[in-house]
């Protein structure tokens, strides 16, 4: 008896037979479809749509301590940054550790371990790298042995107290965001006689010139003649927030000292002094993994402040 012929599975089309396979017409032999010469490894090169590997070039530069993200983007637009030998002028590019990045022809070093310093900013200094009006900046006051650092937020010209410095642009951005939820405390001397009723709008949250301010933690510490000392806590950092709020309720700020930023305290740090936070504390407070031995902590004592600036707020 003759056996029936064996049934065969229908033939599957070859992957190479589809209209989307293979390099585009005119592509160079050996080139990947869609790839461009000099394309960084972190950029998409014929891969399915999605998040490309690596990090944005501006973030990488900030992480390496070259500049803040905003400054890095300006450097890119100026044509000062090259990736794998090709100058780029747009920041919309991802790179990985396999890519060679240079700034002004100099290779960008691998990012250092994240570091944070506490700095007691004196009044009279601008929190910027360069002031258009030629006023002295905090960078004129910092120890020369410090690496390149960025300030976390700002203190205005006439404000003093705790300013955090970091070598890591990612940490700078993270700590500046209100979503971090860290309370920033200030000792504030005002001209006037504030009462609880006068301070109530600050505790509830006010709107000034169409800008909403989150509720503040406000404590009246003591009245001293025509002036009063307050302790104020904020969870955001709008420009001149405390001064504007006080003006709105009829008070004038004549001294403002930041005494803490989240878990970091000004403590007994003298004006102009800088102290590095221990690496383990940085790791614990920021949720970072791994902590290497702490580097030397550069400190410098500044000259005594001019007369009239030596007064320190008394506490109850």
Exposure string of 259-291, with b = 16+ CB inside 10 Å and e = fewer, is ebbbebebeebebbbbbbbebeebbeebeeeee
Intervals of CATH 3.30.70.1560 along the chain: 183-261
Instruction: Report pLDDT for 53.
Output: 81
Instruction: Report pLDDT for 289.
Output: 54
Cα torsion 47, 50, 53, 54 to 10°: value is: 140
Domain 112-181+267-301: assigned CATH number:
3.30.70.580
Catalytic option among 113, 131, 140, 156 = 156
Helix (H), strand (E) at residue 170: helix 169-176
200-256 pLDDT per residue, tens? 999 999 999 999 999 999 999 999 999 999 999 999 878 899 999 999 999 999 999
Intervals of CATH 3.10.290.10 along the chain: 55-107
Intervals of CATH 3.30.70.580 along the chain: 112-181+267-301
72-106 pLDDT per residue, tens? 899 999 999 999 999 999 989 999 888 999 999 99
Q: CB–CB of 302/271 below 8 Å?
A: yes
Is the pTM here over 0.85, yes or no?
Answer: no
Per-residue tokens: 130 = 């360069």
According to CATH, the superfamily of the domain at 55-107 is RNA-binding S4 domain (3.10.290.10)
Per-residue tokens: 207 = 């709107």
Is residue 197 annotated as a catalytic residue, yes or no? no
Share of the chain above pLDDT 70, in %: 75
Least confident piece of the model among 34-48, 183-197, 199-213: 34-48
- DSSP assignment of 200-264 equals HHHHH--EETTEE----EEEEEEEETTEEEEEEEESS--TTHHHHHHHHTT-EEEEEEEEEETTE
Q: CB–CB of 245/213 below 8 Å?
A: yes
Mean pLDDT value of segment 18-42: 44
Domain 183-261: assigned CATH number:
3.30.70.1560
Mean pLDDT of the chain: 80
Instruction: Report pLDDT for 25.
Output: 43
């Amino acid at each position: 008896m003759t056996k029936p012929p064996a049934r065969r599975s229908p033939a599957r089309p070859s992957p190479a037979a589809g209209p989307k396979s293979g390099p585009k017409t005119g592509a160079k032999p050996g080139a990947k479809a869609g790839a461009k010469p000099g394309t960084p490894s972190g950029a998409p090169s014929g891969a399915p749509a999605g998040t490309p590997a690596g990090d944005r070039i501006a973030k990488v530069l900030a992480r390496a301590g070259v500049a803040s993200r905003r400054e890095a983007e300006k450097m890119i637009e100026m044509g000062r940054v090259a990736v794998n030998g090709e100058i780029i002028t747009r920041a919309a590019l991802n790179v990985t550790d396999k890519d060679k990045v240079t700034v002004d022809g100099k290779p960008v070093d691998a990012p250092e371990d994240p570091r944070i310093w506490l700095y007691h900013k004196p009044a009279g200094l601008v929190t910027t790298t360069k002031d258009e009006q030629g006023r002295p900046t905090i960078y004129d006051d910092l120890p020369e042995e410090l690496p390149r650092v960025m300030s976390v937020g700002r203190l205005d010209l006439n404000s003093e107290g705790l300013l955090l410095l970091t070598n890591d642009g990612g940490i700078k951005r993270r700590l500046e965001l209100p979503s971090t939820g860290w309370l920033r405390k200030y000792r504030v001397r005002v001209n006037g006689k504030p009462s609880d009723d006068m301070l109530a709008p600050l505790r509830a949250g006010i709107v000034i010139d169409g800008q909403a301010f989150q509720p503040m933690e406000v404590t009246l510490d003591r009245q001293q003649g025509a002036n009063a000392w307050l302790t104020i806590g904020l969870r955001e950092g709008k420009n001149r927030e405390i001064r504007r709020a006080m003006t709105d309720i009829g008070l004038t700020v004549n001294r403002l000292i930041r005494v803490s930023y989240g878990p970091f305290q000004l403590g007994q740090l003298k004006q102009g002094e800088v102290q590095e936070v221990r690496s383990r504390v940085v790791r614990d407070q920021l949720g970072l993994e791994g902590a290497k031995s702490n580097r030397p902590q550069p400190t410098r004592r500044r000259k005594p402040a001019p007369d009239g600036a030596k007064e320190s707020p008394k506490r109850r």
